[in-house]
Each structure stands twice: as structure tokens, then as C-alpha cells.
Amino acid sequence: MSWEFLTIYWRDMLRFVRFRIALVVSLIQPALWMALYGAAMSSNFSRLSSGMTVPEGAVAVSYLTFMGAGVIALTTLFTSLFGGITLLFDKNWGLMRELLASPMPRNHIILGVGLSGVTKSFIQVMVIMGFGLLIGVRFFPGYTLLETAGAILGVLLFVGVFSLGFLFLSSAISMSMDTPEGLQAVITLLTLPLFFASNALYPIDAFPGVMRTLAQFNPLTHLVNGVRYFAVGRDFYAIGIHYVYNSSDIMLSFLALTGFAAVMFLVAWRVFKNAVVT
């Protein structure tokens, strides 16, 4: 088996660690988002939902816990969409020409970038969950140590598949762009509808019909479903809504993310196959 993709993976991870400002910001920003936005909105939603009866058997969770899963998903989305920018820098600095001319299969470049992006997402997820527990987020309520370990692996599995899909998409876009400004414009255009047409920060039950349909096909919604299922529970009550997840729902979300990642890999592979860098 060929392992050339590990060269790309290791190079990107070294770059991630050595650029200390980018490393610190990527770890602190989601924690601040949860602390500031989450704490402020949690108090408001707590007043609105006070006095409501919690359904029997459901675990009552605060908005801070509800949105904590959403912050994990949003951070993964942002990290993944910007993950391919390293390829754009390689193009501008002439390194991509050397990579494409080397004996390394081109799909290994895609895999190396994808795996490094997944590793970065894993690091951020663990930081978010740890910080969330410190400020009062009730991840893994009532779980045993073994159940918590299994739930963390489940969260990372969903995060990994989702991250791969958008890293492949980001890589394909980066290879088609000539400037970082163009890439940033496209990513911003993608981020807004993915962000707002999802259940990351609020429920989608009250969405208009068209937006609700879009949300159900949104990969971010499927990631949030998986994270909440593992980190919050399959039966919980939040902001006046009773959420019940069953195994078939979560399996459907996982298959949707897997299909999305597979399609994005084919798109990225096609772009790299036809890429010519002068």
C-alpha cells in the first residue's frame, strides 16, 4: 500500500502547529462563541421556557447545552471549508507544480489534506467539549464512563465524515481559484445558507416549508443530529421542544454524510485529475 498521503498530512499538521497565532485563534474562537453568545441566549431562553412541563422520561437541558452541539458543528464547518486554502497557497508559491509532477498519485494529495483537516477538527471538538463542561454545558448527562467514551467516539465519527466532505469540496474550489479573495468569497457564499438553514442554533420546526425542506437536506443538520444524539441524548427537552432521536434517524444522517463525502471526493478527484499548474 502506498503511503505518500502521509507526507501531505504531516506537512499540513506541522504548518498548523508552527503558526501559533492561527492555532490559538482556532481553539479560542469557538470557546468564546459558546461562552458569550451561549451564556447570553441561555438566560433568555431559560426565562421563556420556565414553568413548562418536561415530558416524562426526557432530560431537560438548557439552551447552552442545546447550542453547544451546534457550536461543534459550526466550528467543523468553518474549519473544513477553509481547509483547502493550503492548496491555493501551494499553487501561488509554485509548490503545487512540484506535487503534480511527482510520482505521488493525485488522489493522495486530496487524502492528505482531508486527513489533516479532520485531525484539526478533532482537536477543536475536544477543546469545545472540555470548555463547555467548564462553563456549565451538560454534555453526556447521566452517562457512565464507558458510555461517555462511546459517545465521544460517535461524535468524532460524525465530525470526521462531515469534515472530509467539506474538505474535499474546499480542495476542489481552491484548485479552481487563483486568489485567496476569490476563495473567501465563495466560502462566504456557501457558509451563510448552510449556517442559517440548519438546526445548529435553533429548531427548524417553525421554518417555512421551503426552508424546512432545505434544512433536511443540509449536511450541517445531519451533523448536528449526530452530535446531539451522542453528546446530549436520544430523548431530551430543550427550549420548549421535545426531541426524540432513534437509531434509524441517526443512521440515516450518517449515511447522508457518507454519501456527501463520497460525492465530494469524486468532484475533487476529477478537478485534480484535470489540473494543470504552470
Residues 192-212: b if buried by 16+ CB within 10 A, e if exposed: eebbbbbbbbbebeebeeeee
Confidence of residue 97 (pLDDT cuts 50, 70, 90): confident
Average pLDDT of the residues in 232-249: 88
Cell numbers 470526521 correspond to 160
Number of structural domains in the chain: 1
In a domain, 190, yes or no: yes
Indicate the average pLDDT of the chain.
Answer: 83
Q: What is the pLDDT of residue 160?
A: 95
In tens, the pLDDT along 21-30 reads 766 777 777 7
CB 136 within 8 A of CB 94: no
The terminus-to-terminus CA distance of the chain in angstroms comes to 30
d(CA 132, CA 72): 10
In a domain, 266, yes or no: yes
d(CA 114, CA 94): 21
Nearest to 242 by CA among 252, 230, 250, 234: 234
In a domain, 44, yes or no: yes
CB 232 within 8 A of CB 71: no
**What residue numbers bound the domain in which 188 lies?**
5-273
In a domain, 129, yes or no: yes
Q: What is the pLDDT of residue 114?
A: 87
In a domain, 278, yes or no: no
In a domain, 199, yes or no: yes
Nearest to 228 by CA among 1, 72, 11, 7: 72
In a domain, 226, yes or no: yes
Nearest to 26 by CA among 117, 135, 142: 117
Sheet with 59-60, strands from edge to edge, namely 59-60, 235-238, 241-244
Q: Is the pLDDT of residue 223 over 90?
A: yes
In tens, the pLDDT along 135-155 reads 888 899 889 999 999 999 999
In a domain, 31, yes or no: yes
